[in-house]
Amino acid sequence: MTTRAVRGGGVSAASFGSLRAGRFRLALDRPRVMGIVNLTPDSFADVGRWLDPAAAIRHCEALCRAGADLIDLGAASTRPDAAPVSAEEEWRRLRPVLRAALALGVPVSVDTTQTEVMRAVLDEGADMINDVHALRAPGALALLAAYPGVAVCLMHMRGDPSTMRAMARYDDVVAEVAGFLRGRIDAARAAGIGADRIVADPGYGFAKRPEHSLELLERQRELRELGVPLLAGLSRKGTLGAITGRPVGERVAASVAAAVIAVEHGASIVRVHDVAETIDALKVWQSVRAGRADGLAPGWAAIGLGANLGDPAPMLGWAVEALSQVPGITLLRWSSLYRSAPVDADGPDYLNAVVLVRSVLTPPELLGVLHEVEQRAGRVRGWRNAPRVLDLDLLLAGDTVLAGADLTLPHPRMHQRRFVLEPLAEIAPDVVIPGIGPVRDSLAMVREQAVQRLTGERPWCGGGGDRAGAPGASGAP
């Protein structure tokens, strides 16, 4: 083993708050999974499977259903000795799939090295450019600087797919990869690309023999000193074949193990073919990790509850109980009940409350759970502001900011509603609504709205409360 040129350790995975990625801001308070979709005839892992645009689009949808946080579309293979693809052909393969993927509610990244292709996909609305050449093509840096919100992944490699194998020689692979990445990050910053848009990638398998990739993985945390989040792509790669002796199609378990190790060693995003399997493994990792003092910030979320038909108080009590029984959700705190007249509608008064939970579910999964509980309560979705037996809103999921088709975070109207802000401020007085500000400030703006706190009604364990182990009420969760 060689000397360590970059000092490691000490930097917790939670220290990179979030990544700007086009229409999204991706909170990095937990590991993120990027699903690979290769629109190529010759990619090493999924040879030609997604060449047909309709099949590729179905695959993107399946990856999103499985919980992918981002999708990465590639239309030119980077495997050793891959034939070069013209910009026209790359764009022809990308266009129909990119258009459809952009409607899926997750950031869409495009894996390309060609400036013309970057321009075309950025004009179409891509949220991220994943460049295995780290924006070294002429004009690439300036182009990305001109698209201010778009994320970039800068990866280490030497040569190109036809020459890289011969260039796998290092004295200290970690120091040399770190030095290269530092130079590319500096170049990107100097071109005007903000650090909150940049991720760095050691480039597993690119101009690296298995022993280089393994040393990089072992010491990957040292690369966090670069000051940007790390992305790691080991999925189904030759290093895993060298270890297990298995062909590409039989490397799922090895890939999942590598993804978990990459996250444990400081990666914020893992680029994988097997999204569902990786997410399951990371949930296990995260549920252990979340309990450690130096671990990730627990995945907390705030849920608003409301009802104005039937018998609202016991209904809200039932809903809190139902939520607490969902695997992957732990109830942390619950507010008192609040009574208020319906907003912009007639009908009986509402009862509202807010609960804080810790969850290993993604925000879309959490939303799915809320809809399911509403359905079990007999809710019929009528017109906007129609009376309801139970209304469950995902208000906040950590500091996630998201503008998807089905889910917007923070909840778009929460900061204008006293019946949401009062119970939230009761149990999390210092919480900050991302993009809006402290909950107390929002509350001060809506004091004229009539809301009454109920002290007598106790549908659950007391008027408002706190589970053992919940973070102290004076701090943000």
Of 224, 236, 237, 358, the catalytic one is 237
238 binds ligand HH2 (CB under 6 A): no
Task: Report the 10 Å Cβ neighbour count for 168.
Answer: 18
**Residues in contact with 316: Cβ distance below 8 Å, sequence separation at least 6, in sequence order:** 305, 306, 307, 337, 351, 353, 390, 459, 460
44 binds ligand HH2 (CB under 6 A): yes
Choose the stretch contacting ligand HH2; rule: CB under 6 A; options: 21-29, 72-80, 407-415, 469-477: 72-80
CB of 205 to ligand HH2, least distance (A): 7
CB of 161 to ligand HH2, least distance (A): 8
Cα–Cα distance list, 136 to 101, 154, 165, 279 (Å) = 27, 10, 19, 33
Among 53, 74, 299, 464, binds ligand HH2 (CB under 6 A): 74
**Residues in contact with 23: Cβ distance below 8 Å, sequence separation at least 6, in sequence order:** 107, 125, 127, 149, 403
CB of 15 to ligand HH2, least distance (A): 21
Choose the stretch contacting ligand HH2; rule: CB under 6 A; options: 33-41, 99-107, 277-285, 370-378: 33-41
**DSSP-assigned beta bridge partners for residue 143:** none
Task: Report the 10 Å Cβ neighbour count for 140.
Answer: 23
Of 244, 270, 253, whose CA–CA distance to 70 is shortest?
Answer: 270
Site string for ligand HH2, 383-422 (x = CB under 6 A): ----------------------------------------
226 binds ligand HH2 (CB under 6 A): no
Nearer to ligand HH2, 256 or 414 (CB): 256
**Residues within window 79-98 making contact with ligand HH2, judged by CB under 6 A:** 79
230 binds ligand HH2 (CB under 6 A): no
434 binds ligand HH2 (CB under 6 A): no
Which parts of 164-246 are beta strand (E)?
A: 198-201, 230-232
Place of tokens 């047909």: 52
3-state helix, strand, coil in the chain (%, to 5): 35, 20, 45
82: left (phi over 0), alpha (psi -120 to 50) or beta: beta
Mapped onto helix, strand or coil, the DSSP state of residue 367 is helix
Place of tokens 């989040």: 229
115 binds ligand HH2 (CB under 6 A): no
Among 231, 262, 395, 396, binds ligand HH2 (CB under 6 A): 231
Of 386, 382, 442, whose CA–CA distance to 410 is shortest?
Answer: 442
Nearer to ligand HH2, 25 or 93 (CB): 93
**Residues within window 124-163 making contact with ligand HH2, judged by CB under 6 A:** 130, 132, 153, 155
Which residue in the shown chain puts its C-beta closest to ligand HH2?
Answer: 233
Of 289, 293, 280, 257, whose CA–CA distance to 327 is shortest?
Answer: 280
Amino acid in the structure at residue 310? G
Q: How many residues bind ligand HH2 (CB under 6 A)?
A: 21
**DSSP-assigned beta bridge partners for residue 109:** 72, 128
What is the rounded CA–CA span in Å between residue 410 and residue 20? 16
What is the rounded CA–CA span in Å between residue 369 and residue 397? 14
Of 114, 186, 107, 92, whose CA–CA distance to 149 is shortest?
Answer: 107
Among 18, 43, 278, 308, binds ligand HH2 (CB under 6 A): 43
Residue 204: alpha-carbon gap to chain centroid: 21
180 binds ligand HH2 (CB under 6 A): no
Nearer to ligand HH2, 152 or 357 (CB): 152
50 binds ligand HH2 (CB under 6 A): no
What is the rounded CA–CA span in Å between residue 101 and residue 395? 26
374 binds ligand HH2 (CB under 6 A): no
Nearer to ligand HH2, 110 or 431 (CB): 110
164 binds ligand HH2 (CB under 6 A): no
121 binds ligand HH2 (CB under 6 A): no
Known catalytic residue at 271: yes
Choose the stretch contacting ligand HH2; rule: CB under 6 A; options: 76-84, 261-269, 289-297, 381-389: 76-84
Cα angle 399-402-406, degrees, rounded to a multiple of 5? 130
Of 184, 224, 271, 283, the catalytic one is 271
Of 111, 61, 109, whose CA–CA distance to 85 is shortest?
Answer: 111
35 binds ligand HH2 (CB under 6 A): no
Among 16, 91, 204, 300, binds ligand HH2 (CB under 6 A): 204
Among 24, 31, 73, 77, binds ligand HH2 (CB under 6 A): 77
Known catalytic residue at 208: no
Choose the stretch contacting ligand HH2; rule: CB under 6 A; options: 54-62, 77-85, 113-121, 445-453: 77-85
Among 40, 113, 255, 442, binds ligand HH2 (CB under 6 A): 40
Which residues are part of the catalytic machinery?
Answer: 237, 271
Q: Give me the residues that bind ligand HH2 (CB under 6 A), please.
A: 36, 38, 40, 43-45, 74, 77-79, 111, 130, 132, 153, 155, 201, 203-204, 231, 233, 271
